[in-house]
Amino acid sequence: MRMGLGLFKIEDFVKAWSQTVNVRAPDAFKFRMGPLAGLLIGLFLVLNGDVVAAQDCPSKKYKRSSQTPIVKDMVNPIPSEDDFVLPMPCGGRLVLRHVCVPISSLLDDFQLNLGCEDCRHQDQGFMEAKRVAQISGAFTPDDLPDKWRRKLIEIADRGDGRCPVPDSKNPNALYYFIGKYEISTWQWQTVMNDDCPGWDKAFESDDPRPKTNISWFEAVEFTRRYSQWLLENQQSLLPKFSDGRSAFIRLPTEAEWEYAARGGHQLTDAEMDSEEFFPLKNRPLSDYAVYTQAGAAKPPEKLAWIGTKCPNPLGLLDTAGNAAEMLFDAFRFSINSRLHGAAGGFVIKGGSYRKSRAEVMPGRREEMPFFLENKAFQSNDLGLRVVLSAIVTPQDRSRMLEKNWAEISGQKRLTRLSPDSTTDAFDPDQGKDFIADLERLAESATSVAEKKKFRSIADFIKYFDQVSTEKQTKAIDALIWEALFAEDSIARYAARCPQLQQELETMEDLRSQPLPESEVESLRRSITRLTEQVSDCDVAIDYLAQAYITVIKETQQFPRAAIDRQLNQITMVPNLEKNLKSSLIAKSKVFRDHVWLYKEMPESIQPSIIIDDIVTALAN
């Protein structure tokens, strides 16, 4: 038996055990093994689960579809030291990956763009057109078990994308945990059927495939039963709060799923927004997705086992193709960068093995009915992935939430009372609060005259609110385009100036060489012209940098949310050529960073720093 690190195999254990009890090894899983089977499975998971073995990617071993699967195939075929693990019935495990949301407080959230542009015909953009969404997490580092918190710190120390090192005194990120794989048939049976597949019968080739042919209601019931099992059997391993509230398992929201599927905190804003998929690093999409490739005579015959492809930047597998995945959210149209008010069926994401390349992009979304004909809707290519989450208002967070709210509401009051505030700086949210107060006063008024007066004032404020919002939007747009033009011009001059300087130095070198008299005068004129151009170039860059800083200063009169909203609108203009869109995203990111840097440290916004930042960002 090979017991070395990473070399232990359950087949070897079974073989040795079967020889001891005089049973043929190939039949070892075909009779009732009783408690010993649980011991074997548990020992296998303990010894083999947390070891990082060298993996081929995609794994070639799964091409032998006739092989007999083992527990690892149903649980964690591609283990990593960065996995987070929860136990399941029958010695199984749920393997999770952490998703970090870099934010500044419990009431802050992270803004991202969801949807896609190239995964459906333009006349159906109402399905998944780009839109702004927000995301956060349920857990601070202090909410997590000690082992998990230590692991997050270790990962952050090695480098964890945009995720900062966990700090219990000043939470600068929140977390949620999402399934590394789709729920396998074997995992489903252990939770839903109260038996342990493989204990008294051989594992079957379908056991490691994603569980499908289930309704949305059954998926929710799976999360309820598994959460209940954890609370009854392994509660000490769950993140928990002081008032007896514990973490629980549920389906992911659309924002949680898409943020993680795109690569989450391992990607920059530009990478997240400029690609329909995460960066493939010169690999074909087929290394990451099980789907029907262009030109294929027919789709793959069936679902692949979980974990047969390469992981995404966050370490998740099978988010593209294989089984489509059902989400917690009701489907709503995507209209004008927001979700429409009508709620329909449930959302599915990721596409399945029957879908084309465009249909497995993470921004693609489809609506499925809760019911079809006379029963709950099911499909043999639709499964699920789960998240570990929790309530966000536990009792031990009340003081921190109140503090965060006081800071937010205090900033609003200061903005309203500031002597420097102008009509342009009017915050529409404040108007809405005031309107709500007036409408409440109108309802409680005792006389018709008072009701009419309050409602008349409320109508005027609504009109003023609308006019102010439109005026504010136009003013912000003008400033943003002025800044983006300045950035583009600075980058162009910064590239051209060294070229002119090099040409001038070359001309100067020619002066020391013997030349015909007819060429001397031409050389002199060229040197004079280039000297002026070099000087003009430097003056132009300095002028543009000063103009850019002036724009940054003028943005300080507007609410941050309004500026963010307009920056996002600019980068989501439909039908933009890909390179132009990437350039807009990069320039918008630089401008956003400079606006908020000036707010925090105005002394840092100097021409030399501005020019450096712009040139570096736009050169990448």
pLDDT tops 50 at residue 380? yes
pTM of the model: 0.64
Q: For 438-448, how does the pLDDT look when each residue is reduced to its tens digit (9 = 90+)?
A: 666 667 777 77
Structure tokens at 345: 């069926």
> Do 131 and 338 meet the contact criterion of CB atoms below 8 Å apart?
yes
Strands (E), 210-295: 248-250
Sign of CA dihedral 163, 166, 172, 175: positive
Fold of 10-337+344-395: paralog of FGE (formylglycine-generating enzyme) (3.90.1580)
> Do 248 and 410 meet the contact criterion of CB atoms below 8 Å apart?
no
- Confidence at residue 521, expressed as pLDDT on a 0 to 100 scale: 75
Neighbours of 175 (CB within 10 A): 26
- Confidence at residue 598, expressed as pLDDT on a 0 to 100 scale: 86
pLDDT tops 50 at residue 175? yes
Q: What is the rounded CA–CA span in Å between residue 257 and residue 366?
A: 14
Q: Which helix (H) or strand (E) holds 328?
A: strand 324-330
> Which residue did the predictor score with more confidence, 478 or 311?
311
The residues that bridge with 272 in the sheet, in sequence order, are: none
User: What distance lies between CA 570 and its chain's CA centroid?
Assistant: 20
Residue 329 pLDDT level (bands cut at 50, 70, 90): very high
Please, what is the end-to-end C-alpha distance for the chain in angstroms? 53
Cis check: omega of the bond before 58, within 30 degrees of 0: yes
- Residue 385 is classified by DSSP as -
- Residue 161 is classified by DSSP as T
Q: For 520-575, how does the pLDDT look when each residue is reduced to its tens digit (9 = 90+)?
A: 777 888 888 888 888 888 888 888 888 899 899 888 888 888 888 888 877 666 56
Q: For 241-265, how does the pLDDT look when each residue is reduced to its tens digit (9 = 90+)?
A: 877 889 999 999 999 999 999 999 9
Domain residue ranges of the chain, discontinuous segments joined by +:
10-337+344-395, 470-619
Q: What is the rounded CA–CA span in Å between residue 98 and residue 179?
A: 9
> Do 171 and 106 meet the contact criterion of CB atoms below 8 Å apart?
yes
Structure tokens at 187: 């995992």
pLDDT tops 50 at residue 427? no
Q: What is the rounded CA–CA span in Å between residue 593 and residue 576?
A: 23
